[in-house]
Structure 1
Amino acid sequence: MLPYSTVIFDLDGTLLDTLQDLADSVNHVLSLHQMPLRSLDEIRQFVGNGVGLLICRAVPAGTAPDLEAQCLSEFRAYYAAHMSDHTAPYSGVPELLESLARAGIRVAVVSNKFDGAVKGLCRSYFGSLVPVAIGESQGVARKPAPDTVFRALAELGAEAGGAVYVGDSEVDIQTARNAGLPCLSVSWGFRDSALLTEQGAKRIFSSPGALQAFLLGGQTDEIRPGSQKLL
């Protein structure tokens, strides 16, 4: 028997490596306003809580609210046009999703990226393998609130009892906890296993292949630092 009948995935840092396009878009906006540019590592730490907070963290401290709002608007427009310049699925992710589809496991994506980008990226890279994709939108609380997870389950026609949440960040761990779902963390994305462990991760997978084996009920070699499982 399969361990879960439904898998809810995060997007950035979990299924797609979007970091370079996010960084390029942020730095494009910063350069428009003669603001200091941000490094790739800085952007890596800034992402995860939605584009509003990404821009808030990226602009200099003390930036006027109206200018920050302008930067956010400019970021959205530029990113929408350039979100596929460098973005690609992590190696092994397409095979993971294909294997879940063959096994009859329902799949959705929930992300704090704005909804149009989430739907567009999932459609472009995964097609019918991700039938439900939900991002940040007005009137719906973003992660770590569980609202988008519950909406995804409803659109899939799935019960929370058979579902698991998969993500690469501390926000994802909190989201799963708030939704009452088990969380499977991944270390190939924007956060490393040490940080995930500090944030309470119980199972950490180092490759999509290891995650695939687990979700299909197979055996995976485990390293157990303390009570954590690194697969």
Structure 2
Amino acid sequence: MANSQAPLPLIEYDAFLFDLDGTLLDTADDLGAALNAVLINNKIEPVSSDVYRPAASNGAGALLEAGFKELWDTQPQSELIKQLVDEYAANIANHTHCFSGVESLLIALDQKKIKWGIMTNKPGFLTDPLVAAIPALKNASVVISGDTLAEAKPSPLPLLYCAKLMGVQPKRCLYIGDAQRDIQAGKAAGMRTATALWGYIPSIDEANSWNADFNWQSPIDGFNHI
């Protein structure tokens, strides 16, 4: 669903680029399981998905803060982050799967000979085994992680690097993500942007305020742009 602004002229995209967690993949339950393992190990009550899911795109610190709540500021944060990351890395794809409609969109892009790739702020040592564990992602033209370059999103540099590797102009790329930093990075890179409203957004109203070029209710909305 597009924003309520004037319709954008239709263009032919040479490439789609996607965020990973909360856009292509529903990773929340594996992240939540890692969080709960750390909480239990520290004699804190585990939390339900309605607590960890909104924090799933925001990194280990945000997840732990959601779990420890008001106790977080007094905790050995670096040590707990390492515990969570180690737990997650050991169980990285037990429950993770593509969101409904993602695989159909990727197949359609392949059939149309439109390149697609992944740019995530997840570090490479987690990104690479996760992507390898999901067969639907095997045809990605590029997979760029948050530590591939010296800067991560909201910097536009990783997205510009993706476009360079794929041999396409940024203005002919569409970047899809579920966080404000995704939209900021895409716009700064000169790409069109789409918010994945099915992802780990804080609220529909807040996601609309990011002023993406498009707000997609489902990955199937991507079919309108290929």
Instruction: Answer whether TM exceeds 0.5 for this pair.
Output: yes
**1:11-90 alignment to 2 at 5 Å?**
11-55=20-64, 58-59=67-68, 60-64=71-75, 67-90=76-99
Contact 1:144 1:174 (8 Å CA) reproduced: yes
For the residues of structure 2 that align with 1:163 and 1:73, how far apart are their CA atoms? 35
The offset of 1:52, in angstroms, is 4.3
Contact 2:55 2:200 (8 Å CA) reproduced: no
The 10-residue stretch of structure 1 (39-48 or 156-165) with the greater mean CA deviation from structure 2: 39-48
Give deviations 1:141-179, integer Å, cap 9, x for gaps: 221122221222222222212111111222222221222
The offset of 1:193, in angstroms, is 3.0
Q: Percent identity?
A: 27
* CA pair 50-154 structure 1, distance change in 2 beyond 3 A: farther
Q: Residue in 2 aligned with 1:91?
A: 100
Q: Comparing both chains, which one has the higher relative contact order based on Cα–Cα distances under 8 Å and sequence gaps of 6 or more?
A: 2
Which SS does the other structure have where 1:27 is aligned? helix
Aligned residues: 213
> What is the Cα-based RMSD across aligned positions, in Å?
2.2
Q: Residue in 2 aligned with 1:221?
A: none
The 10-residue stretch of structure 1 (39-48 or 49-58) with the greater mean CA deviation from structure 2: 49-58
The 10-residue stretch of structure 1 (173-182 or 23-32) with the greater mean CA deviation from structure 2: 173-182
The offset of 1:76, in angstroms, is 1.5
* CA pair 198-25 structure 1, distance change in 2 beyond 3 A: same
For the residues of structure 2 that align with 1:168 and 1:154, how far apart are their CA atoms? 23
For the residues of structure 2 that align with 1:215 and 1:165, how far apart are their CA atoms? 12
Moved segments of 4+, more than 6 Å: none
Which SS does the other structure have where 1:8 is aligned? strand
The offset of 1:58, in angstroms, is 4.2
For the residues of structure 2 that align with 1:201 and 1:96, how far apart are their CA atoms? 20
For the residues of structure 1 that align with 2:133 and 2:156, how far apart are their CA atoms? 26
The offset of 1:57, in angstroms, is 5.2
The offset of 1:48, in angstroms, is 2.7
Structure 1: gaps of 5 or more residues: 217-231
For the residues of structure 2 that align with 1:148 and 1:91, how far apart are their CA atoms? 27
Letter of the 1:148 partner, please give it: P
